[in-house]
Amino acid sequence: MVYRKFSIGISIRILAIVTLLFIGVWLHLSQGLILAPSILGIGVLLVAGEMIYFVNSINQKLARFLDSIRFADFSSSFTSDSKMGTSFREVNKAFNEVMEVFKQTRAEKEEQMLFLQVIIQHINTGIISFNPEGKIGVINNAAKHLLQIPQFRNISDLARLSPMLLQEVLEMKPGQRLSFKVNPSITLIIQSTSLKMEGQSWTLLSFQNINAELQSNELEAWQNLTKVLRHEIMNSITPISSLVESLRTILDEDSYVQQEGFLIKKEGYQDIQEGLDTIANRSKGLVNFVNAYRDYTNIPAPKKELVVVQHLIENLCNLMREDLKSKEIFVQKEIQPENLEIHCDPDQITMILINLMKNSSESLLAQADRRIIIRAIGQGDLGSLIQIEDNGPGIVPEALERIFVPFYTTKKTGSGIGLAISRQIMNLHRGSLTVESESGKRTVFSLNFR
């Protein structure tokens, strides 16, 4: 409707100009008049000027409207000009309505941003964002309190807390998660995310001090370990103590004093000999237990290097070939991609894989079809995965929850230390060792490298 009125207004003005020109020319040529055509010419100029003003006014309003949108200035308002007539009242009204919508949208956006800022400032997790130049974009109160760095303006300022922490942070990939112990009272869990804002890349870091949780878990672990130690030691000391009392009784009852010494009955001598053998065996078992505990608590730091997973698995299969062949176990290898590499200590990881392979091969002895799958998968930013899967009877749920507890074992001759050491090695690699099992179907141990 507005554009129709605009077209009519322009058409009327053009028609008026043409009409005045035609009359002026006719009066001059047919009547020989000069004054009247001159007056009509002035009228033509006035109408043309009014039409130019009419069009320019609309262009100016449109330009002002577009500038307001471009510079997000929604305080402008558009009013009707009496010189333009009534045809553009609807245009002014439409401009004002659009400006009001933009104003309301910006107000809602600002409210949402304020709400998000309040949330970010009040959460207990530290938040920091920085661009490729290291400039800090967002930092909340939790991060300032946690890091205790005044005037935190660039990510390089993190070196004031710990140069090694800064290096770890700069080497993090999007989606990666790492733990870092700054001092005895601060142990950080750091997660990294990438995002783009206004065409610029940003890295978003979240920091959380888990020292209190670690202390709680450490206390619980020590309590569990104390229970295991007490159980194992009491299992050894109680029969030893009982046997010592029995041997004392045998000596009292089956020995006789003679001039040159003591005389012991043959039966009593045999009982003493058996008792001493039992004490020796039990003492040896206790020593082995203590040595196993020492091995568990003295694992050396991993010497990491870039390792081709295919070579690692081939080496494992060569070491286990004869054992697997004697047990008639078929091994299937799956590596994706074939050139997959991981950053690890090859000797320590090989030790874990050998332990897992032995466990799997022993679980398959009662199976007719014996298969082990060694699977390696690259997961991009999520890291890499090595899995040992067997089609054995599985692990019962009760044992599944405890198999990584030191000295817990379901085997008659097992020490219960292998899986505990394996998990600790993976923790030193900043990875994890997990297990899944379906009773009667399969068991899968997974080494996760981040």
DSSP 32-81: --SHHHHHHHHHHHHHHHHHHHHHHHHHHHHHHHHHHHHTT-TT------
Looking at residue 172, the DSSP 8-state letter turns out to be P
- Rounded Cα–Cα distance for residues 80 and 84 (Å): 8
Q: Which pLDDT band holds residue 242 (cuts at 50, 70, 90)?
A: confident
Q: Which pLDDT band holds residue 246 (cuts at 50, 70, 90)?
A: confident
The DSSP bridge pattern shows strands 330-336 and 371-378 to be parallel
pLDDT in tens, 254-307: 666 666 666 676 777 777 777 777 777 767 766 766 666 666 566 778 888 999
- Rounded Cα–Cα distance for residues 373 and 342 (Å): 19
Domains and CATH numbers, the chain: 2-109 (no CATH), 123-209 (3.30.450.20), 214-297 (1.10.287), 305-449 (3.30.565.10)
Does the pLDDT of residue 345 top 80, yes or no? yes
Q: Which pLDDT band holds residue 2 (cuts at 50, 70, 90)?
A: very low
pLDDT in tens, 368-421: 888 999 999 998 877 899 999 998 888 887 777 777 776 666 665 555 677 888
Q: How many residues does the chain have?
A: 450
Instruction: List, in order, residues 6 or more apart from 163 with CB less than 8 Å away.
Output: none
* Residues above pLDDT 90, as percent of the chain: 6
Specify the range with the lowest mean pLDDT, choosing from 67-71, 95-99, 128-132, 385-389.
67-71
Strands (E), 90-170: 126-130, 136-139
Top pLDDT among 1 and 10 is at 10
* CA distances in angstroms from 93 to 67, 80, 89, 105, 397, listed in the order given: 18, 9, 6, 18, 72
- Rounded Cα–Cα distance for residues 193 and 173 (Å): 8
Strands (E), 143-218: 177-183, 186-197, 200-209
Instruction: List, in order, residues 6 or more apart from 158 with CB less than 8 Å away.
Output: 147, 149, 165, 166, 169
Q: In this structure, which long-range contacts are made by residues 240-247, counting pairs with CB atoms below 8 Å and at least 24 apart in sequence?
A: 240/279, 240/282, 240/283, 243/275, 243/278, 243/279, 244/279, 246/271, 246/275, 247/271, 247/272, 247/275, 247/276
Residue 259: how many CB atoms within 10 A of its CB? 4
The predicted structure's pLDDT at residue 290: 66
* CA distances in angstroms from 391 to 15, 127, 328, 331, 358, listed in the order given: 94, 45, 14, 11, 14
Helix (H) or strand (E) holding 380: none
- Rounded Cα–Cα distance for residues 438 and 77 (Å): 71
Looking at residue 320, the DSSP 8-state letter turns out to be H
Which two three-digit tokens encode residue 54? Answer: 């009419």
- Rounded Cα–Cα distance for residues 357 and 316 (Å): 9
Instruction: List, in order, residues 6 or more apart from 103 with CB less than 8 Å away.
Output: 74, 75
Burial label for 134, CB within 10 Å (0-12, 13-18, 19+), is middle
Looking at residue 402, the DSSP 8-state letter turns out to be T
> pTM here?
0.45
CA dihedral 31, 36, 41, 46 (to 10 degrees): -150
* CA distances in angstroms from 257 to 126, 144, 165, 324, listed in the order given: 81, 83, 76, 62
The predicted structure's pLDDT at residue 148: 77
The predicted structure's pLDDT at residue 73: 64
Which two three-digit tokens encode residue 296? Answer: 């568990």
